[in-house]
A and B are shown apart, each in its own frame.
Chain A
Amino acid sequence: MLIKIDGKECGCKHGEFILEVAKRNGIEIPNLCHHEGLPGQGCCRVCIVEVEINGWRNIVTACVYPLERECEVFTNSPRVIKQRAMVLALLHSLAPGSSEVSELCEKYNVPSYRRFVKKNDTKCILCGLCAKACESLGTGAISTVNRGTGKAVTTPYGEPSYECVGCASCAKVCPTGAIMVEEGAGSRKIWGKKIPLLKCKKCGEPAGTYMELRRAAEKLGEGMPELCEACRKKEIAEKLASIYGY
């Protein structure tokens, strides 16, 4: 199937999302809550574009809009520019502490609306990617709680979670770096919980928390890993090299 994005012809598969096709073709569509490993969040609305089918134009969210027929996509039409500016302005008032959001505001010339009150300096845009990551890893230590203006991401009862293994995947997927991870000498602190880190036997760098490594080992049915990710990869590469005699 062929579609046009900003005048450029792009090939795509039936059902593919606009954002993927655009990315493959080097067309930039700003986005925050999209993560390749955890698709379908579709809640920040920064990725909106305009789609024209049979002369009808609609604003859609590029990260979750499946391409089902030939169409033309506009990523910078006047309507997109205007509505995206509003979305960004709202996100900025929700998360004034986020440099990612302020940078997008600057990049897309978002005016500052005085009627949007900034209540705090949080970085969180409440996209829920962190909770989704935690859930999909089978840990399920955090979730979105409350609703409306009180909505937030926390552990149950706001207490250090006994389920959290300290893998910090939530912090890794967070588009705005809103989750605090403190890595000290021998431990990592996240969601109010301190978990000891294991050191890599080879390079001495932290290989991960004790709990996350044990969880991974259990899942794989292997013993506790002794090396960090980088050294593990290096070891595999060396093994392959010796097998194939590079």
Chain B
Amino acid sequence: MPEQNITYEDITPLLLKYPKDQRHALAIMQDMQRHFNYIPRKGLEALADYLGCHISGLYSMATFYKSLSLKPKGRHIIKVCDGTACHIRGAVNLVSGIERVLGISADEVTGDGEFSLELVNCLGSCALAPVMVVDDEYYGKVTTDRLPEIFDALRGEARP
């Protein structure tokens, strides 16, 4: 959802789930991330207002944690493992394969907002290297020729 379409009616219910206490800041931000696919500026401002804290502290948290983002992410999040084992078994080829198929490189989102790509470190499944995870679904021993098929199946499919 683009920022201008987000209203306080969208944001308020997310805030009201938690008591007004600064220790819930992270949980609320995680909920916003899940709901909007990112943390909209309006959301951050409303949260500061709700908790009675400075926006700078929340901004600091939102930029610190990798699972939070201030820019919209894709509906499907592709994580390519670039840990040692996967790196050796061709994670880099996988990344350039995705770049060819979807036209995005790491930390970018496709124009239609369907996919975004992230590089992560060891996912703990080195035996399956190179590993790719899309929306918590694992794909092992991925070859670049399988990519179009995987992405086509996901496109249009609802987000889990």
Contacts and interface: CB of A to CB of B under 8 A. Distances in A.
Nearest to A158: B59
Interface residues of A, number: 17
A227 interface: no
A149 to B, nearest CB: 13
Contacts, number: 40
B41 interface: yes
Contact of B64 (A141, A147, A156): A147
Interface string A124-161: 00000001001100011111111100000001110001
A145 B57 contact: no
A140 B56 contact: yes
A145 B61 CA distance: 8
Q: What range describes how many residues of B lie at the interface?
A: 10 to 19
Nearest to B55: A156
A161 B41 CA distance: 14
Contact of A163 (B44, B56, B60, B64): B56
Contacts of A139: 54
A157 B56 contact: no
A185 to B, nearest CB: 30
Contacts of B57: 135, 140, 143
B39 to A, nearest CB: 12
B41 A143 contact: no
Contacts of B59: 143, 145, 156-157
B101 to A, nearest CB: 28
A145 B44 CA distance: 15
A131 B56 contact: yes
Nearest to B58: A156
Interface of A: 131, 134-135, 139-147, 155-157, 161, 163
Given A146-B64, A156-B55, A156-B59, 17 more contacts: A131-B60, A135-B54, A140-B53, A140-B54, A140-B55, A141-B56, A143-B56, A143-B59, A143-B60, A145-B59, A145-B63, A146-B63, A147-B63, A147-B64, A156-B44, A156-B56, A163-B55
Q: In the A-B complex, list the 5 residue pairs whose CB atoms are closest, starting with the nearest.
A: A140-B54, A143-B60, A143-B56, A156-B59, A145-B63
